[in-house]
Amino acid sequence: MALPSAIPPTSDNPEGKIKIYFLPNLLTAGNLFCGFVALTKIVEADVDKWNFYQEITIALGFILLACIFDLFDGRVARMGGVESPFGREFDSLADLISFGVAPAFLVHRVVLRSVFPVHAEAGWFIASIYLICGAFRLARFNCLAATGVDSGKEFLGFPIPSAAGLVSSLTLLIIQLNQNDRTLGNWKWLLVVVLLFLSAMMVSTVKYPSFKSLGLRSTSTFTKAIIAALFLGFILVLREKILYYVLPAFFTLYLVYGFIRPRISGRMRREIEEEDEDGPNPSSPD
């Protein structure tokens, strides 16, 4: 049995050491921690107790918090010019837990477990489809990034953090709408359909903008800045009433945008995606 060879040294890394940058990987660790806590809350939630959906709501909050950590770890690495293969692999492992295992187990626990009380294996199978497709999506992304095929501007297939965000925010909305009934009602079937559809979208060839060019150095028009500020203030003031609707609407719009994106003009696409006419500077971290 052949032993794994050591990491070959390169001109940039003469001793063959792995570079681990602190702040980006700390944010990725925060993502992984949130995924673990979400799983713990889902396991601890007792369906026979009155606070079952309260525990599930906490788990949903941690999945959405993991999305925030995932949003910033790559941007911090790019802004600091400290992207690394270790960071990419670590991020994928964290994403598989927080956005793959946790949402799949969530839907199984909240919906599929009661839908298939006799044939439990059917529920396991449906939940596993999402997890397997998410793993394939992450593996394909890493392969494209390692071979240099990935330009960094687009995602091939629906990103798994966005898929988890849509599942979690939609579940949160359904729980909020049915909080007095202590049940999801017929809305539970929507979660199953959405889960299966997102599974197919993650391994599809539909392209989505990565919005990686958005950062501290991004520029915008005066009108866009005013609209963004007013929208943010509107959400903060009425967060308790509209936040449950804004989050699923946001992830749904991103999902639909992948379908209409090829049919809109290049100028409108650049306006939406905040791309410069000449594209990003190749010498700057992407």
pLDDT of residue 66: 94
pLDDT of residue 238: 60
The verdict on residue 15 lying in a domain is no
Containing 158, the helix (H) or strand (E) segment is none
**Ranges of residues in the chain whose predicted pLDDT is under 50:** 1-7, 11, 216, 276-286
The verdict on residue 278 lying in a domain is no
| CATH number of the domain that residue 161 is part of | 1.20.120
The verdict on residue 286 lying in a domain is no
- Terminal alpha carbon distance of the chain: 40
**In this predicted model, what pLDDT tens digit does every residue of 216-231 receive, in sequence order?**
455 556 666 676 676 6
Quick one: CA torsion of 161, 163, 165, 171, rounded to 10 degrees? -150
The verdict on residue 169 lying in a domain is yes
The verdict on residue 47 lying in a domain is yes
Q: What is the pTM of this model?
A: 0.81
**In this structure, how many other beta carbons lie within 10 angstroms of the beta carbon of residue 140?**
15
Q: Number of folded domains in the chain?
A: 1
The verdict on residue 280 lying in a domain is no
pLDDT of residue 91: 92
The DSSP output letter for 267 is H
- Domain of residue 106: give its range: 22-273
The verdict on residue 260 lying in a domain is yes
pLDDT of residue 282: 37
The verdict on residue 6 lying in a domain is no
